[in-house]
Amino acid sequence: MTETRQDSTTRAYPFSAPDRLDLDPRYAQLRQHEPLTRVRLPFGEPAWLATRYADVRTVLGDPRFSRAASVGRDEPRITPLQMASGILSMDPPEHTRLRRLVARAFTARRVEDLRPRAREIADELLDRMVAGGPPADLVEAFATPLPVTVICELLGVPVADQGRFHVWSEAIVSTTSLSPDRIREYIDNLYAYIGELIARRRRVPTDDLLGALVRARDSDDGRLTETEMVQLAAGLLAAGHETTVTQIPNFVYVLLTHPAELARLRADPALVPSAVEELMRYVPLGVASSFARYALEDVELGGVLVRAGEPVIASLSAANRDPEVFDDPDRLDLTRAANPHVGFGHGVHHCIGAQLARMELQVAVAALLHRLPGLRLAVPEPELEWKSGMLVRGLRKMPVAW
């Protein structure tokens, strides 16, 4: 294929404001006709946008594309502030060093050991919700406290503090919902809070994940700096619940607006694991692509020459609708057999908590199906309140009845 340059046309990106969970049709048009295109985000330098599944996996998985090279650059982004990303701005071997320290907490076996406790939490939350009677806000009553409680217990963070750090965590996923000063304030608060918990563990060691990070930091080999430990723990706490908190109502919304698929799932609850994978593929969680990778050398990608030093952002949502990989990709099919979606990313930065998120989403969907077979929206769909000014798409409130 002849390598070409298409610098002349630079599109404003994101293409449009997020409209519920609908994916902008321009992704499909670009994927077919211009799979690598120049875009300019609200902040930072111009970038290439990859929309094909194969190219997205290359950008995320090929060592010729670097996250560490973003440090010191005016990285393309939709957030006014360019915040230190810690492990998300590292390449191997530095990235491997940090990831290995927490990976054992998120193994499939460890996550399965947590499943019975997650079910208990889900049932307790639904007991309270049912006792209060309809209507109830699914976001406040169920979707938020379930993953928050699980990650708190895993890390060793007091669940009683969840109201504080859940507010601060919004700074991690805010674009314009918070002012730059408030974002800095919330992140400083989150880091100070984690620092306080770490100090407690030095006084009284614990067996939780935070205690394990403290032991790694204080061991003779010095595998973890104090700053790395605080950033890593804060990132796990924030990322460990923010996206799942958002996806639970997203999944419920998609199911309620696809009644035939919901009926199929209700008739066969064994489909829940398959349904969660399909919903991960189908829901375009991100408002826009982010976390650019910088080419370390000239790379031919999608028929275009990406020069060394140029940033590329990869659209997971567009990749997950690529007809070259997924049959009838715009159709929700909870029985889809082959589903190699990239909803959790790909490559060395593949979501470390993917197994935990999968388990929580499976538990949440199964519990709602079992306990609330008549679950429905308590307001007309157009009256639903959606988040704005965030990196992720989702419902701010979800009034439901049953």
Residue 103: pLDDT above 70?
yes
pLDDT tens, position by position, 193-240: 999 999 999 999 988 888 888 887 777 555 778 888 888 888 888 777
- Mean pLDDT of the region 82-108: 83
Domains of the chain by residue range: 10-401
Where does the pLDDT of residue 1 fall: very low under 50, low under 70, confident under 90, or very high at 90 and above? Answer: very low
Q: Does 2.60.40.1190 match the CATH number of domain 10-401? A: no
CA–CA separation, 248 vs 251, rounded Å?
5
Percent of the chain whose predicted confidence (pLDDT) is above 90? 64
Where does the pLDDT of residue 109 fall: very low under 50, low under 70, confident under 90, or very high at 90 and above? Answer: confident
Mean of the per-residue pLDDT values of the chain: 91
Q: Tell me which of 101 and 75 has the higher pLDDT.
A: 75
How confident is the model at residue 221, as a pLDDT?
59
